[in-house]
Amino acid sequence: MRLRLCTWNVNSVRLRAEQVARFVDEQAPDVLALQEIKCQEGEFPRQAFIDMGLPHLKIAGQKGWHGVAIASRLPFEEVAPLDVCREGHARCVSAKVAGVEIQNFYIPAGGDLPDRAINTKFDHKLDFYEKLTAEMARRDPKAPLAVVGDLNVAPGEFDVWSHKQMSKIVSHTPIELEAFANLMAAGQFTDLVREAIPDPQKLFSWWSYRAADFRASNRGLRLDHVLISPGLREAAFRQGAAAARVHDDVREWERPSDHAPVSADFGL
């Protein structure tokens, strides 16, 4: 069977429920991992997702901010969310679908100053990465696992519009790149989107609202990821090449999220 897994920082699920329905109709995901749903569990538009054909829901909501959810066409097994957020925010939700464990994260953005001594938000971000990395180091790499979501780091030179200019800006600073690399090494992860679309092609999943025309300015960042364990590699490469992409056309829709969805297909 084909399992299509998509991740999307939707930037308010209630505001963009119609866009989610359009995306689901066009791309037919089996599992949709959402970040920044910006609602509490009881406020989540459940019926809209049932109508989309994604009736199986796991929601971690929070008033006004953050919040993550997994919506699935297929029934899922319960998986305990990882306790890696020291502030107790709704930033992690987990499920096992068709034997694949999915850990969906909205990792803190980190504020403006890349100095954990004076910026508690940046310290929180790095602490989150450190806790998550320690957790992944304890895992069996042969177990099928996908870590997805808005991980808020653009890890490569070609994942930012300007490597030189962004190297001092939160999301692409050396200490964040090191934290991301440590996570990758701990889980022996494959960056599936980059496997499908290798360097040196520029590849972004986020563009600021400040630009009137995001394509003309094209000052983007690749913040949204699908990372897979060795136990999921065979399924990802069953057809010989990774089938993963950024759906940047969604960023052109009316009143879009500032993030575009990212998808990956697996042959299970």
> Could you report the per-residue pLDDT of 24-48, keeping only the tens digit for each?
999 999 999 999 999 999 999 999 9
Place of tokens 């096992």: 96
> Could you report the per-residue pLDDT of 117-163, keeping only the tens digit for each?
999 999 999 999 999 999 999 999 999 999 999 999 999 999 999 99
Which value, to the nearest 10 degrees, does the dihedral of the CA atoms of residues 182, 35, 147, 214 take?
Answer: -70
Is this model's pTM higher than 0.95 or not? Answer: yes
Residues β-bridged to residue 245: 263
215 confidence band (pLDDT: 50, 70, 90): very high
Cα gap 182→155, rounded to integer Å: 11
Cα gap 120→135, rounded to integer Å: 22
Taking every pair of C-alpha atoms in the chain, what is the biggest distance, in angstroms? 50
Contact predicate 96/77, CB 8 Å: yes
Q: Which domains does the chain have, with CATH numbers?
A: 2-267 (3.60.10.10)
Cα gap 148→105, rounded to integer Å: 6
